Amino acid sequence: MFPSTLENLRESLADWQAEKEAGHGFACVADELIGMIQEKIISLELLTKLYAEHGLGLTLKHRNREAWCVLTEDASEPGRFRWTQFQRDGFTGHCTHDTPELCLGDMMDDGYTVLDQGALDRLCGTSQWQRGTQITAIIQACNAGLMSWDEANRKAEEVKQQYPEAA
């Protein structure tokens, strides 16, 4: 799905307001949807202001869970931008877009709306992070065919024993 933008949210808002005024079809749910779209517009306007203030490196926390994301240039695709998700035990994924604004919309759509600059620095030095990144490296090696499933499981157990407090 394409990320939210202020332009497409405002178009959707106008469409639902027209649907409500006309009284056809889905007019009965228009008020609820109008409210949801208005909330998204406010959130995305706030994220846009935060990006203007903090620029690349903007770090947001998920509104409902212990997860974060950071906005950066995409190192593998020059000229593009990436937002990378992480939790207490390491990186969990990323999405790449042509503009920082599309990244902001995608981040918001996924629930990342709370400013938390410094989260990556706070977490990356912990034993939980070290354990998680070592296990991720084992998974990647296994997926690339560099080690067998049994060897990967054995190495993962060794890492878990090395960091028992991180479990």
Is it the case that residue 167 has pLDDT exceeding 70? no
* CA-wise closest residue to 110 among 131, 93, 128, 91: 93
Is it the case that residue 106 has pLDDT exceeding 90? yes
The 10s digit of each residue's pLDDT in 47-98 is 999 999 999 999 999 999 999 999 999 999 999 999 999 999 999 999 999 9
> Are 16 and 33 a contacting pair, CB within 8 Å?
yes
For the chain, the distance separating the N- and C-terminal CA atoms, rounded to the nearest angstrom, is 35
What is the tally of helices (H) and strands (E) in the chain? 6, 5
Q: What is the mean pLDDT of residues 138-157?
A: 96
Q: What is the mean pLDDT of residues 148-152?
A: 96
